[in-house]
């Protein structure tokens, strides 16, 4: 099981949405970065795997319940389990889609 140690990676998928890989970084710092991206986009997709999943859930909660209360919502949550490459261990993944109202 390998965790990324790079800063939040932003991958462009469409003009109105952004995909962000969540790692093991300070949750509030990551939430502020997601908030700034959500200011320019109408949809943000948070992706996390393994031990980073609680951080992604916390960031989604901070954005929807504290920072943009009433102005954003969780559109969809997708949970999955994938086999780690060549190891045989299973790794959980989550994808949380946040949208602005």
Hey, what are 100's tokens? Answer: 């602005």
37, pLDDT greater than 80: yes
* pLDDT 10s digits, 15-30: 789 999 999 999 999 9
Kindly report the pTM of this predicted structure: 0.79
Instruction: Give me the pLDDT at residue 57, please.
Output: 96
Q: Across the chain, what does the average pLDDT equal?
A: 84
Q: Which strands make up the sheet holding 90-100, listed edge to edge?
A: 9-14, 17-21, 43-49, 90-100, 72-83
Are the CB atoms for 38 and 75 separated by under 8 Å? Answer: no
The DSSP secondary structure of 39-62, one letter per residue, reads HH-SEEEEEEEGGGHHHHHHHHHI
With respect to CATH, is domain 9-100 assigned 3.30.110.20?
yes
Instruction: Give me the pLDDT at residue 32, please.
Output: 94
Q: Structural domain boundaries of the chain?
A: 9-100
* pLDDT 10s digits, 42-61: 999 999 999 999 999 999 99
Q: How many contiguous H segments (helices) and E segments (strands) does the chain have?
A: 2, 5
């Amino acid at each position: 099981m390998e965790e990324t140690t790079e800063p939040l990676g932003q991958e462009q998928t469409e003009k109105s949405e952004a995909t962000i890989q969540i790692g093991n970084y300070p949750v509030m710092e990551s939430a502020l970065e997601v908030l700034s991206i959500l200011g320019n986009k109408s949809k943000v997709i948070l992706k996390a795997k393994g031990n980073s999943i609680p951080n992604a859930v916390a960031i989604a909660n901070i954005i929807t319940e504290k920072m943009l209360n009433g102005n954003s919502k969780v559109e969809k949550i997708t949970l999955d389990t994938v086999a780690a490459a060549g190891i045989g261990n299973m790794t959980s993944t989550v994808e949380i889609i946040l949208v602005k109202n």
